[in-house]
Amino acid sequence: MENSKRFWYALSLLVLLILTICILKVSECSRRNLERKLLAERQLALRALKKDFSFDILIFTQHWPYTVCAQWMEHHKGNECILPKVRNSWSIHGVWPTKYHEIGPLFCNDTWTFDMKQIADIENDMKEKWINIEKGTPLDGLWKHEWEKHGTCAAQQIPNMNTENKYFSKGLEMFNNFSITKLLQETYIKPGIDATYKLDEIHTAINRTIGNNFAIICEKDHQTKQQLLFEIRMCFDKEFKFHSCEGIVVKDEVLLGHTKDEIITNCKKDVEILYPSSSWVAKKEWLMKIKEHMPQEKSWLYQVENVYKLVKLLQWATL
Ligand SMILES: *[C@@H]1O[C@H](CO)[C@@H](O)[C@H](O)[C@H]1NC(C)=O
Ligand SMILES: *[C@@H]1O[C@H](CO)[C@@H](O)[C@H](O)[C@H]1NC(C)=O
Ligand SMILES: CC(=O)N[C@H]1CO[C@H](CO)[C@@H](O)[C@@H]1O
């Protein structure tokens, strides 16, 4: 009797100990994440204070409109997208002055606000290649954001980008020279309703023509739990020559290739990457609509089930 009591006592102590360790581990991890975020923010604020807007490279980012759309639909119920007129073409996200191992500089000139009139002559081209996919937000929403956050920083140091018009024109020029649509055209990497590829297949297809000066960025689809191809970020020096992307930061994570050949990415390396087509997006939209109607049916069924259980219980109690 004494022994078994002691045993249970020891066991519960052990369980308590294990639980405590687990809780500590989890909080340690989230604390470290928070610290990293705070550090990045403090760095930015400090540099803004010192007016240190220096940077190492320009990151030219193109995103895959169908993945952007999927994320936008998940973001809020009822969200719709503006998709490219030419089906299955990539679109520009932005041109970002960047310091290695840091984000930014960002917002380098508060007084230089976006002015649509400055880009009147390239507006049609912009609508086609620098699409604001998030329908329902202002037409110039993305452009205003990109100019004020990144353009004002590029303008300070790059003569070919020292006006709003020059900044966006340069982005369009980079797109014309290095569009992912074109780079992938002659490869077997095609979007589809279930077109998945290994990371190194996508890497090889692009690196074949531009070398290893780019990063592959993925996003997670919360509905299907798949990893989606999201962005290709190409790195350039200030003379618009290709430069390594090693050491760029994505969502608080410094991306490093460990050897010269290594792929720079935030994608999970051992999980296939989906390159979703417009049909995949349509299917997702449809599934989301169905799911919207599901809970009601479920709760209705649930009520019936409860009533049934209650009747059974009463039967049992009165018998
Ligand atoms: C900020 O922008 C204004 C134009 O709005 C310009 O006159 C000024 O020179 C810029 N300042 C810097 C530091 O670039
Ligand atoms: C784009 O290509 C043209 C023609 O080859 C070249 O003159 C120009 O410098 C390139 N621009 C960029 C930003 O790469
Ligand atoms: C042209 C080029 O840069 N090719 C490279 C593509 O990536 C592989 C693996 O990272 C390298 O070995 C090639 O040199």
Residue 28 confidence (pLDDT)? 67
Domain coordinates of the chain in residue numbers?
Answer: 34-293
- The residue with greater pLDDT, 300 or 82, is 82
Residue 246 confidence (pLDDT)? 87
Nearest bound ligand to CA 108? 1
Domain at 34-293, CATH homologous superfamily: Ribonuclease T2-like (3.90.730.10)
Q: Report the distance separating Cα 307 and Cα 314, nearest Å.
A: 11
- Cβ(183)–Cβ(206) under 8 Å? yes
- Cα distances (angstroms) measured from residue 233 to each of 8, 175, 239, 248: 58, 12, 17, 10
Q: Report the distance separating Cα 201 and Cα 81, nearest Å.
A: 29
pLDDT at 72 exceeding the cut of 90: yes
pLDDT digits (tens, 9 = 90+) for 236-293: 999 999 999 988 888 756 666 655 558 999 999 899 999 999 999 999 999 888 887 7
From 261, 262, 264, 265, give the residue whose CB has the most ligand 3 atoms within 8 Å, as the site to mutate. 261
Residue 76 pLDDT grade (very low, low, confident, very high; cuts 50, 70, 90): confident
Residue 226 pLDDT grade (very low, low, confident, very high; cuts 50, 70, 90): very high
- Alpha-helical runs (H) found in the chain: 2-49, 65-75, 123-129, 141-146, 152-157, 164-178, 180-185, 199-210, 278-318
- Cβ(304)–Cβ(93) under 8 Å? no
Q: Report the distance separating Cα 171 and Cα 161, nearest Å.
A: 9
Region 74-92: what's the mean pLDDT? Answer: 92
pLDDT at 154 exceeding the cut of 70: yes
Residue 307 pLDDT grade (very low, low, confident, very high; cuts 50, 70, 90): confident
pTM of the full predicted structure? 0.81
- Among 28-32, 157-161, 214-218, 291-295, where is mean pLDDT lowest? 28-32
Residue 78 confidence (pLDDT)? 86
Region 150-173: what's the mean pLDDT? Answer: 97
pLDDT digits (tens, 9 = 90+) for 188-201: 999 999 999 999 99
Residue 260 confidence (pLDDT)? 55
Ligand 1 centre to CA of 80 (Å) is 37
Q: Which amino acid does the sequence have at 79?
A: N
Q: What is the mean pLDDT of the chain?
A: 87
Closest ligand 1 atom to 51 CA: 13
Active site residues: 93, 146, 150
- Among 82-91, 136-145, 186-195, 250-259, where is mean pLDDT lowest? 250-259
Nearest bound ligand to CA 163? 1
Residue 309 confidence (pLDDT)? 74
- Cβ(98)–Cβ(248) under 8 Å? yes
Residues 6+ apart with CB under 8 A from 100: 56, 57, 246, 247, 248
Residue 120 pLDDT grade (very low, low, confident, very high; cuts 50, 70, 90): very high
Residue 318 confidence (pLDDT)? 66
User: Which protein residue's CA is at the shortest distance from atom 4 of ligand 1?
Assistant: 112
pLDDT digits (tens, 9 = 90+) for 23-42: 776 666 666 666 767 777 77
Region 96-106: what's the mean pLDDT? Answer: 90
Residue 276 confidence (pLDDT)? 97
Residue 50 confidence (pLDDT)? 74
Residue 311 confidence (pLDDT)? 75
